[in-house]
């Protein structure tokens, strides 16, 4: 009896499987090269959005992303941290814009007051951060702030800025200066020389509301003019 021959048909599926695996490995290799080594998906531009006082070049230099770096390898978190160290920057977001761009979106600090220290005039934002030095006139709406130790950790600073930023726009436009010898002793000076004794940071919104109403009544003649408006206790104001 003749021995049966073994079928060789299973060899073809195995060859197809091997060829498929080889093609898949090759495709993965090509994709890896495109992402990690090819100039096709490398950084060609660093775009900066949102800057006002800073220049795009300052932001790009701080970000430290080198053109030609594969986009997938661009250290966006590190770049954001470095840009965040620039004093005028309030917040920043760094993202990849495929196929070849890194986008740095900056939100700059908005000055609300100017402080003087050792002959220098510096801008300060609503959180108390001193972030820029100026030599000319202060920006519109920015008023002098007189406190002993300006900064975000100083209670007098935060109380004074809290009072200033709580005011309605038309009232705030009448403020020419704000001072605080301590967190419970905030005083506002108005354009006509009147003083507003604000007191502490307590009930800030209520004080702003009461001051707005008082000024309106004085302007319309309902109340007699006064040199000093004491709203430190907003439910029992004193005019003198």
Q: Where are the beta strands (DSSP E) in the chain?
A: 45-49, 89-97, 101-108, 111-117, 120-125, 130-134, 143-146, 175-180, 186-190, 195-199, 228-230, 238-239
> Considering the entire predicted model, what is its pTM?
0.79
Angle, helix 56-63 to helix 76-84, in steps of 10 degrees:
130
- For 158-204, write each residue's pLDDT tens digit: 999 999 999 999 999 999 999 999 999 999 999 999 999 999 999 99
- For 25-72, write each residue's pLDDT tens digit: 544 444 444 444 555 689 999 999 999 999 999 999 999 999 999 999
């Amino acid at each position: 009896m003749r021995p049966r021959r073994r079928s060789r048909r299973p060899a073809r599926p195995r060859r197809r499987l091997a060829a498929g695996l080889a093609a898949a490995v090759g495709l993965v290799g090509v994709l890896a090269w495109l992402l990690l080594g090819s100039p096709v998906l490398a950084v060609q531009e660093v775009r900066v959005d949102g800057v006002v006082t800073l220049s795009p070049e300052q932001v790009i230099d701080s970000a430290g992303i080198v053109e030609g770096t594969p986009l997938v390898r661009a250290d966006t978190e590190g770049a954001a941290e470095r840009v965040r160290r620039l004093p005028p920057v309030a917040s920043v977001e760094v993202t990849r814009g495929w196929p070849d761009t890194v986008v740095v979106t900056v939100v700059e600090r908005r000055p609300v007051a100017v402080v003087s220290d050792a002959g220098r005039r510096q801008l300060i934002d609503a959180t108390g951060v001193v972030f820029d030095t100026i030599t000319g006139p202060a920006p519109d709406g920015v008023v002098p702030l007189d406190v002993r130790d300006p900064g975000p950790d100083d209670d007098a600073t935060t109380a004074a800025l809290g009072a200033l930023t709580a005011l309605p726009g038309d009232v705030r436009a009448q403020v020419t200066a704000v001072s605080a010898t301590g967190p419970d002793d905030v005083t506002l000076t108005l354009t006509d020389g009147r003083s507003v004794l604000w007191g502490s940071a307590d009930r800030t919104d209520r004080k702003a509301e009461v001051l707005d109403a008082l000024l309106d009544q004085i302007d319309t003649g309902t109340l007699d003019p006064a040199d000093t408006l004491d709203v430190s206790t907003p439910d029992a104001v004193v005019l003198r």
